[in-house]
Structure 1
Amino acid sequence: MKTLKLLFIGCVFLGSSCTSQSNKINGVSFVASSKEITTQHIDDVKKVSANYVTLMPFGFVKSLSSPNVIYNSQKQWFGETKEGVKQYAKEFQQSKIKIMLKPQIWVWNGVYTGTIKMNSEDKWRTLEQSYEDFILAFAIVAEEINAEIFCIGTELEQFVKSRPEYWIRLIGKIRKVYSGKLTYAANWDEFKRVDFWEDLDFIGIDAYFPLSNQKSPTLKDFEKGWQPHKNEVIQVQSKFNKPVLFTEYGYRSVNFTGEKPWDSSRIDGNVNLENQQRALQALYNQFWKEDWFAGGFVWKWFYNHKEVGGQKNNRFTPQNKPAEQTIQKMYEKSK
């Protein structure tokens, strides 16, 4: 009894260090589809021991200088609409899987959202109102479905940098309609310059950090590549004293996957399943043991599990690849 008492006291003084391997957000980024989902689609998520999913309704803009966000349209896939989000959330929650709702902007032709920037004050004001309408609409949905986390934006560096006061006001408006926890998904090279982390609950990072320029790095190579980036993450975390959440993380099953992990260019062949597996294991080794690290959402997971991924697939999905077992083992260990 005395030993147990001393252990309990030690845990109190050390914070969460006694359980640093457990209670992480073990998430998958669940891609919307054109149809409703069923327990069949959720069973495959449960098999990797995920306890969270990201649901991602999209808003569309026509160009980097277009100020109008189009969303909840009949032309969109069901899972990207308000009705679809609610249906997906209900199915996942019945299986005790929690939700992060992460509305995202898509620039037509897939242009990088971080460079969205208006060329006049009038356009900026139009964008601000249009984006606010988009985000608040889904913040209300997040409250209705009892989503645990709501992400206020994804990789919008120039928008954030150019209109800082707007974002502070927007966070206040979101909190009036949504009572859960908030984050923002900063790109890996953006998170150090975000000024409003103190107003959110998590420091959110889309963690596509470059780790190695080798064709097939070893696990040790990948972990070595993490060191300068991890130190920067620790510095920002210490400054704001907020837990870090990898709002996205993942690697393609290709050669040189650690060189530009964000690269989604379509290429044929060049499959390297072991690269994907080792890169994921290195990330888990470096972060999942840390008390200040909340967890993350692997990119990306499709509803039709048996028909995607596989031994010849070089995309991000870990489905039906060795990486799927790597994720399952780590998530099982830390759930």
Structure 2
Amino acid sequence: MFNKLLTALKRNKARLLSLVIILVAVVLIKVVLVDIVFVGQQYEKNRIITPWGEKIKSGNLSVDYTIEQTLNDIEQLGLNTLNVPVQIDISSLTANTMSINLGSKKKAVELIRKLKYKGISVILEPYPFIQNGELYETELKPTDLNEWFWNWKQVVLSQLIREIAKPYKVYALCIGSNFDQFENQYEYWTDVADFVRTEYKGRVTYRTNWWYTAEWNTQKTSQYDTYTLKLNNPVLEKLDFISVAAYFELTDKDTNSVDNLVSAIHGTQIFKRNQDIYNELKNLSSKWNKLLFFGELGFPKRNQASVHPWNPSPSNIKNDQEQANCFQAYKEVFEKETWNLGFSVFAIGKEDENKNYYPSDLSIEVIKRWYN
């Protein structure tokens, strides 16, 4: 009798344990589903659909960004996407090797987790940090391209795809940015694009740097005509969209009205170049049938912001209005263009006296209204 009772208790205990396991599993599944639905709702809330198509409204981060400031900036600017950098340490302008900065990667993952929960899309960028950030990627010129590109694929891109892009399903991966000195190594770059496609099924882009042309320049050689090189770069066919760092030199004036800046986008005034930036960008998009995205759009809060937008200190005179006017001019020219995918504000994520590109209050008002 005692043995029968013990057996019955054991059976009931096993059934009870099974029931508990089933209940826990049901609760966990419900939590996950609720989380998925919430993230989906957040994504839908943050999508920007205009009469001219879906648009990207993004921001670039300085590598010393803070997560708290970044999240605040996303809210106040009304962004739906963020360009997240992972610092790639490179020792010199001629180095052929590089390494992913582990602290930067860890911070990027922490931020991306928060962004995904908020429904903010991510453009992941391997950010060249040369000689501790003292030098620029536009001047990088490796001595051995075979070695450099092997390392860029295997040491950098492969790891970022495996550890961040795929598990966190980022919106897009930027396979390179502003490598002016060897962007014309077409075979290497198409190989990089093909390599990434085999490893990653998301969107792929490359960010090319700004350029200038002049109507008085008749020397149509590679030394003087980088636009033609960009226009005929076959790697652009491999991309989902073309990114451009839009630091085009517009005027030769300390300050400008919005109307004058709009006019300069259609015909630059500096050095009487009369460069038609609008049509050059449109032709670049049309040539490859790809949407064009301003992967960096920034102006310093200074006089002469439109003269040398690539220079964080073109003048010692602070001018919030001039920065805002530059943003407003780009907004008026490109906001309604169906071939323009959007823009990314350079740069947010940290604000102090050294951050000349951080948008002023006047610029924030312009950016908030963009696509609204």
Give 1:113's aligned residue: 137
Name the amino acid aligned to 1:250. G
Deviations 1:143-190 (A, max 9, x none): 2111111100010122222x3212111111111221111111100115
Q: Name the CA distance, whole Å, in 2 between partners of 1:26 and 1:154.
A: 19
Give 1:291's aligned residue: 338
Give 1:4's aligned residue: none
Give 1:234's aligned residue: 282
Name the amino acid aligned to 2:229. R
Q: Name the CA distance, whole Å, in 2 between partners of 1:157 and 1:191.
A: 12
Give 1:167's aligned residue: 189
2:74 to 42, 45, 62: 45
Q: Is 1:149 the equivalent of 2:197?
A: no
Name the amino acid aligned to 2:149. E
Name the amino acid aligned to 1:288. E
RMSD across aligned positions (CA): 2.2
Aligned with 1:99: secondary structure?
A: strand
Give 2:223's aligned residue: none
Give 1:193's aligned residue: 229
Flag the structure with more relative contact order, 1 or 2, with Cα contacts below 8 A and sequence separation at least 6. Answer: 1
Identity %: 22
Q: Is 1:300 the equivalent of 2:300?
A: no
Give 1:24's aligned residue: 55
Give 1:18 shift: 7.9
Aligned CA distance change for structure 1 residues 41 and 209 (closer, same or farther; 3 Å): closer
Give 1:66's aligned residue: 95
What number of residue pairs does the alignment pair up?
A: 295
Give 2:146's aligned residue: 125
Q: 2:73 touches 2:348 (CA, 8 Å); kept in 1? A: no
Name the amino acid aligned to 1:193. L
Instruction: Please list every run of 5 or more consecutive structure 2 residues that lacks an aligned counterpart in the other structure.
Output: 1-48, 212-225, 267-275
Aligned with 1:24: secondary structure?
A: strand
Q: Name the CA distance, whole Å, in 2 between partners of 1:34 and 1:205.
A: 22
Q: Name the CA distance, whole Å, in 1 between partners of 2:70 and 2:177.
A: 26
Give 1:60 shift: 2.0
Give 1:124 shift: 2.1
Q: Is 1:207 the equivalent of 2:231?
A: no
TM score, norm. by length of structure 1: 0.82
Instruction: Please list every run of 5 or more consecutive structure 1 residues that lacks an aligned counterpart in the other structure.
Output: 1-16
Q: 1:210 touches 1:225 (CA, 8 Å); kept in 2? A: no
Deviations 1:167-225 (A, max 9, x none): 11111111122111111110011565231111101111000011111011110111111
Q: Name the CA distance, whole Å, in 2 between partners of 1:313 and 1:85.
A: 23
Q: Is 1:248 the equivalent of 2:296?
A: yes
Give 1:272's aligned residue: 319
Q: 2:302 touches 2:313 (CA, 8 Å); kept in 1? A: no
Aligned with 2:370: secondary structure?
A: helix
Give 1:34 shift: 7.4
Give 2:83's aligned residue: 54
Give 1:314 shift: 6.9
Aligned with 1:210: secondary structure?
A: coil
Give 1:43 shift: 3.9
Aligned CA distance change for structure 1 residues 51 and 142 (closer, same or farther; 3 Å): same
Give 1:114 shift: 2.3
Name the amino acid aligned to 1:202. F
Q: 1:271 touches 1:313 (CA, 8 Å); kept in 2? A: no
Aligned with 1:26: secondary structure?
A: strand
Larger Rg: 2
Aligned CA distance change for structure 1 residues 218 and 72 (closer, same or farther; 3 Å): same
Deviates more, 1:101-110 or 1:281-290: 101-110
TM score, norm. by length of structure 2: 0.74
Aligned CA distance change for structure 1 residues 200 and 95 (closer, same or farther; 3 Å): same
Name the amino acid aligned to 1:115. E
